[in-house]
Chains A and B, each alone.
Chain A
Amino acid sequence: MNYNWNWRIFFDAEPGGSGIYLQYLFAGLAWTLAAALCAWVIALAVGAVVGTLRTTPLKWVARLGDAYVELFRNVPLLVQMFLWYFVLPELLPATLGDAIKQMPPPWGSFVPAVLCLGIYTSVRIAEQVRAGIQSLPRGQGWAGLALGLTLPQTYRHVILPMTFRIILPPLTSEFMNIIKNSSVALTIGLMELTARARAMQEFSFQVFEAFTAATIIYLFTNLIIVLSMRAVEKKVRVPGFIAAASAPQAGH
């Protein structure tokens, strides 16, 4: 029983005609990063708003935020991916739905994937933002209000700047999660890194070389993010506040 190793396969041309396999995989990494970054913008914006709303004194607004979080946290990412890709265009008005369905590849799967990843991650960011706000001493908000700031101003100038500096480490791991989760988009046809590793395996039958390369590329991407974020974290750390990174948490 012998497996025929052939590491030179990366320099062979891939059948799609875009160049050698190595280029093919790195183009996949580019799609992975593009999807992750676009989704990250959505996730950060929506997550910050929802997380903030969940801490406001208005009960019904906080409830609404809770409902949003529960809804998107309790449905698997893959099912959400299918909902955005297959179901949403059918439920929208016919003209809009058809326009979405007729988007040329790869945008037809890229846009739903970005929306899905963005909303899915926004829930997790909302949780971090809420926890961050609640970890601040309450006196900070009261001090803002006592100085005559309105509630939105207090959030904008006092609470949120502190919160984001505190929750930067968990946000870093959410960003690494969004890169990993973007691989689920292969189920709706986005040719990102994992999808291309699988395609390469199907074309060339060099299973383990293809997956080894993808694994190494993911590891290096993670390493670069961790190292650069560690430098940023060091710069913006608030003296005296330690993020609760050591608390055990479930995740994936």
Chain B
Amino acid sequence: MFTGFDFDVIERSLPYLFKEGMAFTVTLTAMAMAGGVIFGTLLAMMRLSSHTALALAAGGYVNLMRSVPLVLVIFWFYFLVPWIGGWLIGAKQPIGVGAFWSSVITFTMFEAAYYCEIMRAGIQSIPSGQASAGYALGLDYWQTMARIVLPQAFRNMIPVLLTQTVILFQDTSLVYVLSISDFLGAASKVANRDGRLVEMYLFAALVYFIVSFAASAYVRRLQTRLAVIR
């Protein structure tokens, strides 16, 4: 089955694949995770707030993001961000945002909806008596959240947050639809240039598999460790 395989094409393109492709994928994953967790936590706090308007707005946003395909969201933001950016700085024309920042914004906004649901469950897993105790001590809402509720919520939700990040890592491959050279995009460019689709796509699948499998195995170990301590 592997007769006629050209393993050399993989070796030749390794620097390009990893230094450009994988670097882009990892940077995008890290930035979208950081942004997504922060924005998602704020969304979760809004969803749980007693202001109905805030709760409704956050709920609507989350449900909207979760009911449309990621590919469509990528297209939306790719065209929408330049207009919004231009409107914000009062420019005459839509501004150029660039593929990188466009995809960072897209994945931050999209994954925030998923991180929000995780953080909401995390916040709800903390007994409400703890928040009441915080208020009784004279802390305000932000202090109670920052010092009492959120640290514990994060700790409880670390495994799920990390699992979601593994999914995010896989999802970033969809920037392919914007012709960006992430890891898969780079592999695809080499594949088409050298006519070596089979080798390059199998190699890409192998790399994604190894990274995701190792990460999920680590999360599982972490889960048992955290569970024992608690």
Contacts and interface: CB of A to CB of B under 8 A. Distances in A.
Given A1-B91, A76-B208, A208-B79, A219 B197 contact: no
A98 interface: no
Most chain B CB within a 10 A radius of its CB, from A79, A80, A180: A79
A251 B69 contact: no
A107 B160 CA distance: 39
A176 B67 contact: yes
Contacts, number: 129
Given A76-B184, A78-B174, A197-B75, A91 B83 contact: no
A87 interface: yes
B163 A184 contact: no
A83 B202 contact: yes
A184 B171 CA distance: 11
Interface string A219-252: 1001000000000000000000000001111111
A55 interface: no
A82 B201 contact: yes
Nearest to A248: B121
A196 to B, nearest CB: 11
A187 to B, nearest CB: 7
B208 to A, nearest CB: 5
B198 A90 contact: yes
B68 A79 contact: no
Interface residues of B, number: 49
B103 to A, nearest CB: 14
Contact of B69 (A71, A75, A82, A181): A181
A239 to B, nearest CB: 26
Interface stretch (B127-135, B142-150, B209-217): B209-217
A75 B64 contact: no
A218 B118 contact: no
Contact of B173 (A76, A90, A186, A248): A76
Given A74-B212, A208-B80, A198 B75 contact: yes
Contacts of A252: 70, 114, 167, 171
A41 B177 CA distance: 28
Interface residues of A, number: 45
Contact of B197 (A87, A214, A246): A87
Nearest to B215: A74
Interface string B59-85: 000001001111110011001100100
Contact of B201 (A3, A87, A207, A219): A87
A87 B72 contact: no
B7 interface: no
A250 B166 CA distance: 9
Interface string A60-83: 000000000011011111111011
A172 interface: no
A135 interface: no
B126 to A, nearest CB: 13
B164 interface: yes
Contacts of A250: 114, 118, 160, 163-164, 166-167
Contacts of A71: 209
A249 B117 CA distance: 9
A198 to B, nearest CB: 6
Given A73-B216, A183-B71, A207-B79, 6 more contacts: A77-B170, A180-B68, A186-B71, A218-B67, A248-B122, A251-B167
